[in-house]
Chain A
């Protein structure tokens, strides 16, 4: 089940329920993040764009309300139409975090599958990564430690599902903290439970695959019946509780759409496909 660093795309919106103006705003953050990646890390960087980090931009922008600039661009993906892009200091931060994660992802794929293409991509990113390591020692260390711990956890066949999921949680919590201030602990906790949620969603989805391949998966090691839906709910309840404690007004509707419904879209779809009750 080793996916290396999380790049799973669970943290998305529930689009049908989002007001059009909110969707457009969300999309403008997404395009802004894409633009920041391109500016800082070139086309290579752009290819690493994730919804997970888009959520981080929307969350931290809501919390800190930084100055934003709006631009309108045509982009490679949608050349016919101009898109609004919303950029601020947070987009830059999230772009850097995205690269931090993507680099480890590629390296991990290389180590696991000897995928040469991944290695050469990682090599292209290496210079950027080294720079980021200097600039964000706390976050870079968290990701590196996570890679080590995850390996140890898989080798040991850790049965404690809290511990296995908590590794992703701790790593994401650290990535989420933009600055050590009066809200850092709330944001860290929010990221922690969201990280656990993501890990568990992914593990649950992969259990058949992992059973066949003999890969590590904490769900396969449980001796007692465990309700995936219940524990996933537990994670998101803690995560949402942390969110409600934050004094976030701007983007609150978008964020609640993601936290209360959007994060379930992919999970429910997978459930629908397997026709199995979680």
Chain B
């Protein structure tokens, strides 16, 4: 049984975002628990509603992460991580983290599982190493508040420290601090693809937003960050958050 969220919503894999929303609304009107209070089969309806909800979220997330190929290639029911190569970044937009209420969706992939740790070997102090690993575990559990507390207790701050701080801050909704930390990580270790990927995603969101704005008559401001980051436009197409 191959899991295909498009089949669950009954739309083609190349459907527009609006079509997907339309299909979702139609189905949720039918199966939403509120509409089935007196239905003798309301448990089945609720099951179906949950499926629809999961499928919708899944499609939206995939498209945001640019894994939208217009073809439905779902190989099994793995709620897996987007394949961001080196960084092993998780599926998910930034920080639906419930802002420190600890209800965060797990948006980032496996941390500290060896693939981002190339630079952490520079941490000589075993205690700092242990704390870094603890921070990674907290991030993986979506517990950004605790992650930040542990990070704050680490004296030595290398590139990887800033990388973790960027992710934890993003999860907490501190997106200015997150951007600054991501920049710091890249500045300290420009060769690390995970750090660059994170920074591109953060800055890419702003570019995507400005582009959308031009369609709604927002006065174009050349003074913005657009000109400095134009070279990333090509990358945007395959690694960023476009809902269309």
Q: Which residues of A contact B (CB under 8 A)?
A: 14, 16-17, 160-163, 165-166, 169-170, 173, 182, 185-186, 189, 192-193, 196, 227, 229-231, 233-238, 240-241, 244-245, 247-249, 252, 256-257, 260-262, 264, 268, 277-278
Interface digits, B222-239 against A, CB 8 Å rule (1 contact, 0 not)? 011100000000000000
Closest B residue by C-beta to A231:
B176
B157 interface residue per 8 A CB criterion:
no
Closest A residue by C-beta to B50: A182
How many angstroms from the CA of A264 to the CA of B218 in the assembled complex? 7
Q: How far is the CA of A37 from the CA of B232 in the complex (A)?
A: 48
Q: Which of B22, B173, B225 contacts A230 (CB 8 A)?
A: B225
State whether B174 touches A17 (Cβ < 8 A): no
Return the contact of B215 from the options A196, A260, A262 (Cβ within 8 A).
Answer: A260
Which residues on B are within 8 Å of A, measured CB to CB? Answer: 17-18, 21-22, 24-25, 28, 53, 56, 60, 64, 93-96, 98-99, 103, 169, 173-177, 179, 202, 205-206, 208-210, 212-213, 215-219, 221, 223-225, 241, 243
A233's partner among B17, B169, B206 (CB-CB below 8 A) is B206
Interface of A is mostly: helix
Separation in Å of the B19 CB from the closest CB of chain A?
A: 10
Contact A247 B21 (CB under 8 A): yes
Minimum Cβ distance to chain A for residue B229 (Å): 10
A residues within 8 A CB of B93? 241, 245
**A192→B99 contact, CB < 8 A:** yes
Do residues A277 and B223 form an inter-chain contact, with CB atoms below 8 A?
Answer: yes
B224 touches A233 (CB 8 A): yes
Q: B209 to chain A: which residues have CB within 8 Å?
A: 233, 236-237, 240-241, 260
Please determine whether A17 and B216 come into contact, CB atoms closer than 8 angstroms: yes
Counted as pairs of residues, one from A and one from B, with CB atoms less than 8 Å apart, the total is 114
Q: Whole-angstrom distance between the alpha carbons of A227 and B206 in the complex?
A: 13
Q: Which residue of A lies closest to B180 (CB)?
A: A224
Known: A193-B175, A238-B205, A241-B64. 19 other contacts (CB 8 A): A182-B53, A192-B99, A229-B225, A233-B206, A234-B179, A237-B206, A237-B209, A241-B93, A241-B94, A241-B243, A244-B243, A245-B64, A247-B21, A247-B28, A252-B18, A257-B217, A261-B217, A268-B221, A277-B223
B179, A268: Cβ atoms closer than 8 Å:
no
A256 CA to B212 CA, complexed, in Å: 9
Minimum distance in angstroms from B216 CB to a CB of chain A: 4
Q: Once the chains bind, are A192 and B53 in contact (CB under 8 Å)?
A: no
For residue A244, which residues in chain B have a CB less than 8 angstroms away from its CB?
Answer: 17, 60, 243
Report yes or no: A189 in contact with B96, Cβ–Cβ below 8 A. yes
The 8 closest A-B pairs by CB, nearest first: A17-B217, A237-B209, A162-B174, A244-B243, A261-B216, A261-B218, A237-B205, A247-B21
Known: A260-B213, A261-B216. A163 touches B174 (CB 8 A): yes
The docked-state distance in angstroms from the alpha carbon of A230 to that of B103 is: 29
Cβ of B22 and Cβ of A241 under 8 Å apart?
no
Q: What B residues does A230 contact at CB under 8 A? A: 206, 224-225
Report the minimal beta-carbon distance from B40 to chain A, rounded to whole angstroms.
23
Distance, CA A278 to CA B224, complexed state (A) = 9
Contact of B98 with A233 in the complex, beta carbons under 8 Å: no
Task: Find out whether the CB atom of B216 lies under 8 angstroms from the CB atom of A249.
Answer: no
B-chain residues with CB within 8 Å of residue A277 when the two chains form the complex: 223
Supposing A166-B173, A241-B93, A249-B21 touch, asked if A256 and B216 sit within 8 A by C-beta, the answer is yes
In Å, the complex CA distance between A138 and B241 comes to 32
Find B212's partner among A166, A193, A240, A249 (CB 8 Å cutoff): A240
CB pair A249–B22 under 8 Å, yes or no, is yes
Contact B56 A247 (CB under 8 A): yes
The closest CB in chain B to the CB of A169 belongs to: B173
- Contacting residues, chain B, for A235 (C-beta < 8 A): 175
B243 contacts which chain A residues (CB < 8 A)? 241, 244-245
Most buried by B among A165, A227, A231, A245: A245
User: Could you tell me the distance between the alpha carbons of A233 and B26 in the complex, rounded to whole angstroms?
Assistant: 34
Smallest CB–CB gap between A148 and chain B, Å?
A: 17
Are B206 and A234 in contact, with the CB atoms below 8 A? Answer: yes
* Distance of A141 Cα from B169 Cα, bound (Å): 25
| Cβ B218 vs Cβ A170 within 8 A | no
